[in-house]
Amino acid sequence: MTPADFAATLDATNLKLDASDGEICALCDEAAHARFASVCVYPTSVSMCADILYNTPARVCTVIGFPHGRSSLEAKREEILRAKHNGADEVDIVMNYAALRSGAKGLVTEELVQLCQEARDAQLLTKIIVETCFLNEAQKLAALAACETAGADFIKTSTGFGSAGANVDDVKLFATHRTGPIKIKASGSIRTLSTALALLDAGAERLGVSAAAALLAELKGERIEKSSDDSY
């Protein structure tokens, strides 16, 4: 994989609870220079990122119903509309995975159908976070089916705030059982280049990482210091 190809898979992410504007600006500068797929930030940072990344290859992604997924349908819809208004290109929407675990697959699917339609109408790319660490295999497959029914562009493994992040087995499970064009985003605890490449080899098309620049430098045979907070 070439450095350019690898960079194009990375959603450079800063969802730290104490992230400063300066750190978000630096992330945008890195993304524009390296041509990362996107920066992924909290909704309040979208406008700033959109201004910095205007007319660059990097897109602006934000999170919806994050990290719990238990916001109301109306609240998630409003977050999507606000994200579009502020300049976002992509939205990572947290599924109500608690409802899925309780057996309410129909309710979860209907919510995703409505939210994905809202996002499509706003010309936003959609990624649905299902939080695999809290789901058994049957629930993971139910989550995949719900995302496909809704027409989501991606199914995403994790928020980075659960008990575990992405793993190769979950990516392979989704890659093996998807029935249409839905893509896979792996995220959470992707701290090394070997992990990142293994997830891509398993079938992921995007990676959500907090150390995008360090991983790209490692691929190039360079070294830069990673952030001490790379939990995402």
Give the three-class secondary structure for 49: helix
Q: What is the largest CA-CA distance in the chain?
A: 49
With residues binned 3-state (H G I as helix, E B as strand, rest as coil), the percentages for the chain, rounded to 5, are 50, 15, 35
185 counts as catalytic = yes
Q: Could you give the angle at which helices 73-86 and 105-121 cross, rounded to 10 degrees?
A: 20
Q: Which of 92, 153, 170, 230 is catalytic?
A: 92
Give the three-class secondary structure for 231: coil
Q: Please report the sign of the dihedral spanned by the C-alpha atoms of residue 122, residue 186, residue 63, residue 211.
A: negative
21 counts as catalytic = no
92 counts as catalytic = yes
Q: Which of 84, 127, 156, 183 is catalytic?
A: 156
Burial class from Cβ neighbours inside 10 Å (0-12, 13-18, 19+) for residue 168 reads: middle
Q: Which of 127, 170, 185, 230 is catalytic?
A: 185
Give the residue numbers marked as catalytic.
Answer: 92, 156, 185
